[in-house]
A and B are shown apart, each in its own frame.
Chain A
Amino acid sequence: MAGEARVMASAETAQVVLQANSDADGGLVFFIDGPLDTTTTGRAWRTALHALSQSNPRRVVVDAARLTYCDGAGAALLLELQRRQLESRGSYEIRSLNAAAQALLDLYGRSDRPGPEPASPGWSSVEQIGRATVTLWHDVVALIAFVGELCAALGRAARRPGLIRWKDVFLTAELAGVNALPIVALLGFLLGLIMAFQSAIPMREFGADIYVANLIGLSMLRELGPLLTAIILAGRSGSAFAAELGTMKVSEELDALVTMGLEPVDFLVVPRVIAAVVMTPLLAIWAGFLGLIGGAVVMRSLGFPFVTYVIQVESAVTVSDMAGGLSKAFVFGIVVAAIGCLRGLQTRSGASAVGESTTRAVVSGLVLITIVDGVFAVVFYYLGL
């Protein structure tokens, strides 16, 4: 029974040799030559424990006469050998250990130190489903409570507009609205262009390509303009609101507001919701306008004069289509801003919590946009719009 570990610790001279030899009466003797530190202990640990598990000796002796240096990791190895011998009721002895290493063993080896409490057992799949359901229910309740809180705060703000933090409103309007103009323009234009181009090819087969103008006009102003704007708003500003409020929550700024007697909903959420509500319909008009231009480019390339396109769009789109689209954008604005703020306020502690809130803000924003859009479709159908 013999094992040996030679470890080069670093480019310098640190090297340890651990040899395991069986002695005459069935005991196991470990000779240690060199330093046992964090860099050398790994290999020595494997060799020693391998030898120990192979022979299962009654008696283990560590000969430390040539142990030059021992740190916490080395002490852990010596104590681990001792622990294993205690468990298997064998004897354990360390010979000629120097004073410094002995002091270290005494320091780390005191047996009155408490060990770890057992980790909580994992959950079964049934329990997990139950917990997920309860979490979802709590989320819905929180959402409803927040809607109520927000309505109350907006009511207070409407009665006394002087209390609204207009500076914040304008700042948010700039960040969420004005700064979004280029990206909304780009996506709106491309959407109009691509839709016109894709639909022109089959419609041309029927000689109906003039009706591409109807398609672009109706879909951009009534449906896709507001939807596109809402999705961009959720990605750009809903996430930003969540991150901003979430960071404030983590750094206890929200608690500071509360102890100053200022409600976070009045102070932080109301300005953001007002800004989003004003900016979303404007951005939706902008997106629709750019979509129409995209369509115009395609129609022009198909040989229709610009005037024909404009007249065709004018005849297709009614004021109620326009109003329907704007009312959608109005509601999308409230929903995206409110859910962004809510997720921010719900942030738990820790560095990962803010990231989690941001993700949740965008995902919930998109889900709610879809739901609201569906509701609008049903309502418009019954109103005959």
Chain B
Amino acid sequence: MSGRRPIIRVTHMTAGYGDVVLLDDLTFDVYQGEVFVILGGSGCGKSTLLKHMIGLLRPMQGSILIQGRDIAIAEGAERLKILTGIGVMYQQGALFGSMSLLENVRLPLEEYTDMPDEAMDRVAMMKLQLVGLGSAANKLPDEISGGMRKRAAIARAMALDPPILFLDEPSAGLDPVTSAELDQLIVGLARTLRITFVVVTHELASIDTIADRVIMLDKRTKGIIAEGKPQELRDHSDNPWVRQFFNREAAV
């Protein structure tokens, strides 16, 4: 884990909507090059936490340092620097429907680099080939399957080679084979390109394959109830709810 250098630091973060607090006093680090998984049951605030980490929402209290910059208070150029250093894959892909896959991946390059047209095409094509979508580059998002859309969304998130990628439910709604392929892709990218992944999921199968480290959120305590490697949590957690989750038992 490359010297255990934290690339994201969340410190005493409290978040919610209006008067309702969903996450209370959260503190954790994400280290460079690891696949970090945020786990939890439905409604525990996983997606809310993700939205705070990518700057869509601002926390009520606390700080979220991304590569040393606080996204909770950053404005203007500072905020842009953080945002170009992260890539996000949304649950449904959120590809722009009027553009082909290649154009979708090209868009960040057009906006943030001074590359010539041909260079942008090459780079965008390379990213698509990396996720196995080279032959579908000219297709519209409507014309491809859900799994392909998610892979294309990863390619777009990687367009500017950000050191951090956020993935929201990468395997939701996919068949086990496609989902496993996507997991392989994530692990491959993390190992070869040394990208840091922050993944929100509740698919047990993918957690085993991809996760270096896991935090588990809980609705009742509004905080982290477990942190560590997935195998350790399953076998040695002293929290019954954590063991239930990993062993797929219904709550009694």
**Other-chain residue from A43, A73, A80, A115 in contact with B135 (beta carbon distance below 8 A):** A115
Query: In the assembly, what is the distance between CA of A119 and CA of B100, in Å?
Result: 11
Judge if A289 is at the interface, Cβ distance under 8 Å.
no
Question: Which residues of chain B are within 8 angstroms of A43 by Cβ–Cβ distance?
Answer: 114
B142 touches A107 (CB 8 A): no
For window 9-62 of chain A, which residues contact chain B by CB distance below 8 Å? 10, 37-39, 41-43, 45-46, 49
Per the CB 8 Å criterion, the residue count for chain B at the interface is 30
Q: Which residues of A contact B134 (CB under 8 A)?
A: 113-116
Which residues of B from 135 to 187 have beta carbons under 8 Å from A? 135-138, 142, 158, 160-161
Residues on B with C-beta less than 8 A from A117 are 135-138
Chain A residue numbers with a CB within 8 Å of B109 are 38, 73
Does B204 make an interface contact (CB < 8 A)? Answer: no
Q: Is the CB–CB distance between B119 and A80 below 8 Å?
A: yes
Q: Is B193 an interface residue (CB 8 A)?
A: yes
Whether A107 touches B193, Cβ cut-off 8 Å, given contacts A43-B114, A116-B102, A116-B138, is yes
Q: How far is the CA of A38 from the CA of B134 in the complex (A)?
A: 21
Which residues of the other chain, B, contact A39 by a CB distance below 8 angstroms? 112-113
Residue of A whose beta carbon sits closest to that of B114: A42
What bracket does the count of chain A residues touching chain B fall in? 20 to 34
Q: Which of A198-224 contact B (CB under 8 A)?
A: none
* A143 within 8 Å of B (CB atoms): no
Contact B115 A351, beta carbon cutoff 8 Å: no
State whether the Cβ of A171 lies closer than 8 Å to any Cβ in chain B. no
Residue A262 at the chain B interface, CB threshold 8 Å: no
B159 CB, nearest partner CB in chain A, Å: 8
**B112, B113, B115, B158: residue with the most chain A Cβ atoms closer than 10 Å:** B115
- In the assembly, what is the distance between CA of A38 and CA of B126, in Å? 14
| B161 neighbours in A (Cβ, 8 Å) | 37-38, 71-73
B residues whose Cβ falls under 8 Å from a Cβ of A: 81, 97-98, 102, 109, 112-116, 119, 122-123, 125-127, 129-130, 132, 134-138, 142, 158, 160-161, 192-193
Of all A-B residue pairs in the complex, the 10 with the closest CB atoms, nearest first, are A42-B114, A71-B161, A116-B137, A350-B97, A42-B115, A113-B129, A114-B135, A76-B123, A45-B119, A76-B122
Extra contacts, 18 of them, besides A38-B160, A80-B122, A352-B98 (Cβ < 8 A), are A38-B109, A38-B112, A38-B113, A39-B113, A42-B115, A42-B119, A45-B119, A73-B119, A76-B122, A76-B123, A107-B130, A108-B130, A115-B125, A116-B102, A116-B134, A117-B135, A351-B98, A352-B97
